[in-house]
Structure 1
């Protein structure tokens, strides 16, 4: 009985000792802490004063919490800022823009069969639902007309257009057979102050406009993966065998630039300065008697697209017109965004861009936003139509759309735009990233060529009359000459740079500043609190416990 009473007394003494120790620690902490306002809670003052300081302390905590939340949101949602670089960049440190030129003359008109009449008969067939018969057309002629349906004006092809033949077509071979002679249309070029034939500067490119020709673009073997048709055709047909630029060693990437031992003559090519003398010049030629208005409509001449060398040209989407009998001058102003090493630690969705080799494309070796969108369009077209357009990146096992699928693949691009818009709009209020199904964020290092365009009349006929030169039109009857000049406008340009807006160090420093401003709180204040509720409490209890 006495043992039980003794144990109860000991437990009671321990509770009293603990309460006394906690009370002592509380008053010691209030009188010694560095946190502002706490000392007033430990003083023997009227309750109204303690209530006042309690309200002030809680208001301070509320304001401090709100500001820290704002800092966290900014650090979490916008960790990367794009700002101007401290130094200007010379134009010789970047490649000259790739120039893709497409003639609006897709096939020289011939007697015997007309594309306009063929298209009219086909549209009447779709409207009346009659059986279509290709009258008086050979197999070769039908192949050519079926090919032209894909490149002349696909928007005119109506839904319900039938497949005109079960024979498969090698569209690339047909286009090569019917295209106008290159040296007649690309009359002569000037590059590095050297006048010469254009075939040593241009490479054949297969686009949604048909066969075009590209100056200073990457070779298909450096751009496409090995299992794509574009890569294999370039190797088998050796389409770049005359190009003097593509024979040079490849020592450039968009992220790292040219290697230090590249020299003057590089691949892709670069210029030594600004101005028309250091730029590119080409004389283009069209012929009145070879224009087919039924194919390309009332605007004839050439389409020109300026793009980064590692981009696949999308001439139908972004182009400059070179009309017949005109001179067009394009002054180029580069817009380049580089990347600091500090943002690599952030995931792509936070930094809003992909680093080199971070996003692998199925058909391309090089990631750019343009190439990614083209690949996404190809995948969507294959899913919607069961086939892809002949010009899209593809492998051998992917079926090519015939004329009965032209309406489908033409609509696929509109479907892609609408889908990306709706997904981005739906997610944007809740998710600042606006991530869509294509996942085609910009490349962290990107290069865009902005242009200033001027043009004027190119009166070759009047000039030849003034000089009494009649031989030119004897050799080239019906010629309509055009001229194109492309050059950098300035010797240097200011690049933009992606860098950290808030790193973890900046975030902690901002939080520490806010804590210090509102409460006088620091890391040592936290250590001080932990010390009083652990080590100091235990030490006081030892001294207060009766032996």
Structure 2
């Protein structure tokens, strides 16, 4: 009996201890919760964030729900506004604005001017119409005639129904020699620059372009424009001048003379521009090649840009006096924008993106190189006006359709990339990403013309010529000059710099919530310093409850 009672008493002790532990835990939980509530109320009463003090007041639940809804709505509006500002800063951090002050035209070079003849075949050298029609009828031509036709297939307009691949005897080794031989000759005479006469051969240099043999003024030498591996034809584009005193980004150096290279645009007005005359022998026109249009085309471009006259030009008819007015537009880039990646600022600096053939980057050079590489890949040759290495073959008439298809496809890829934004994997390797230059100059040109009765001037003695008896030629006069001595350029700047973005961010937080840097310091203070100090002062992290 005694043992049984003892055992029952002994078993009851653990149960009693367990109950006491559970009851003590229940007593501790409210104390911890009260500490948290007390400490939160202390923060609400002290914080500078608008509306928070209402959460700490001993008010009704309905009031607290009201303020919770208001605070949540304001916070959401603030977050959405900040996200919108961030996206704008992330996607388009650069903005183009007008410069704050004007610049004199002497800070920029006079535009390069490239002149080409509209006629592409010299009738006295080769009868294009006769040879073409004979070949079309199936007659056999000599090897020389096929070579001429092969060269002119890229200079004359495309003739539908003619099989260019039938010119099987064409040879690419002397392509440029034949081009120079068959091209019509024209002279540039009576050159005046800044009201002073100059030998035209000193100002104009022959150059091979997509319009054949042309002449260019004030352009960078081929050694500066192209890499050493690029092959050139004889003396073409050999200027023997350097542009050490000028760059597209910094302009002319302070040490540069007034008369330097490339030629400066010193003064405005017709008297101080460039004036020259174009002389062509009056010869039978082969209308089958390029139609019945006679005269010249001229292109204005920056000295560092290789000309593509077929893309944009002004027409100069025979026996006309043409006046062209020049208005420059310049875009520069601030130093702050240079720190952005190229995809963010949407432009390249001249030597930032390396090209295979060109020393200096430009959007035009990139596009030329893109087409050159694609043509070489597709046809194992390049067109006569494209940059090439010594081992690269020049395309002949047998490659005509391949070259035309290559140009069409590269344009198609470029448009597809711009419009659709998605490109098949097989074509991605041919995307060249040719963005504009960060610092660039363009020349807007306006023109007017009138009939020039130069034969009457000869008869009256107002116009001097060497041979007064033989006037069997055409003359055209061109005058190019700046309209104004000053211009206002543009500049790429940061849309939001770090300070601007921080100001927008803080302004939105302050507008919707009253939050500031001091508010952040308050949160850090209540979560760290105040807790430690309360423990030291009151032996309790919540303070004196």
Normalised to the residue count of structure 1, the TM-score between the two structures is 0.88
Residue 438 of structure 1 deviates from its aligned partner by: 1.9
Cα pair 1:191 1:279 within 8 Å, conserved: yes
Cα pair 1:108 1:180 within 8 Å, conserved: yes
Residue 92 of structure 1 deviates from its aligned partner by: 0.8
Which residue does the alignment assign to 1:97? 111
1:387-423 Cα offsets, whole Å, 9 max, x none, are: 2111111212333211022233234333323221221
Change (3 A) 1:216 1:62: same
Q: Does 1:543 align with 2:539?
A: yes
Q: Distance in 2 between matches of 1:16 and 1:469?
A: 112
Cα pair 2:275 2:479 within 8 Å, conserved: yes
Alignment match of 1:144 (pick from 144, 148, 153): 148
Alignment match of 1:32 (pick from 46, 56, 59): 46
Cα pair 2:172 2:395 within 8 Å, conserved: no
Q: Does 1:170 align with 2:183?
A: no
Q: Distance in 1 between matches of 2:81 and 2:237?
A: 61
Change (3 A) 1:16 1:121: farther
Residue 166 of structure 1 deviates from its aligned partner by: 5.8
Change (3 A) 1:475 1:501: farther
Which residue does the alignment assign to 1:519? 513
Change (3 A) 1:153 1:339: same
Q: Distance in 1 between matches of 2:150 and 2:177?
A: 13
Q: Distance in 1 between matches of 2:223 and 2:61?
A: 83
Cα pair 2:170 2:397 within 8 Å, conserved: no
Task: Note the residue ranges of structure 2 that are not aligned, 5 or more in a row.
Answer: 1-13, 423-428
Change (3 A) 1:496 1:119: same
Alignment match of 1:200 (pick from 180, 199, 202): 202
Alignment match of 1:228 (pick from 227, 230, 240): 230
Cα pair 1:334 1:447 within 8 Å, conserved: yes
Q: Distance in 2 between matches of 1:101 and 1:507?
A: 50
Which residue does the alignment assign to 2:10? none
1:137-172 Cα offsets, whole Å, 9 max, x none, are: 3x4444333212221224758566334216333222
Q: Does 1:456 align with 2:450?
A: yes
Change (3 A) 1:538 1:470: closer
Q: Distance in 2 between matches of 1:442 and 1:537?
A: 58
Change (3 A) 1:291 1:124: same
Q: Distance in 2 between matches of 1:10 and 1:436?
A: 77
Question: What SS is found at the alignment partner of 1:447?
Answer: strand
Q: Does 1:424 align with 2:418?
A: yes
Which residue does the alignment assign to 1:128? none
Cα pair 1:423 1:436 within 8 Å, conserved: no
> What's the RMSD between the two structures over aligned residues?
2.9
Change (3 A) 1:485 1:439: same
Q: Distance in 2 between matches of 1:479 and 1:363?
A: 40
Q: Distance in 1 between matches of 2:258 and 2:157?
A: 42
Q: Does 1:22 align with 2:36?
A: yes
Which residue does the alignment assign to 2:220? 218
Aligned residues: 520
Which residue does the alignment assign to 1:133? 140
Question: What SS is found at the alignment partner of 2:410?
Answer: helix
Which residue does the alignment assign to 1:295? 289
Q: Distance in 1 between matches of 2:219 and 2:20?
A: 96
Change (3 A) 1:140 1:194: farther
Greater shift after overlay, 139-148 or 193-202?
Answer: 139-148
Task: Note the residue ranges of structure 1 that are not aligned, 5 or more in a row.
Answer: 126-131, 429-434
Which residue does the alignment assign to 2:488? 494
Change (3 A) 1:149 1:473: farther
Greater shift after overlay, 295-304 or 101-110?
Answer: 101-110
User: Which structure would you say has the larger Rg?
Assistant: 2
Q: Distance in 1 between matches of 2:390 and 2:120?
A: 26
Q: Distance in 1 between matches of 2:171 and 2:465?
A: 46
Greater shift after overlay, 216-225 or 474-483?
Answer: 474-483
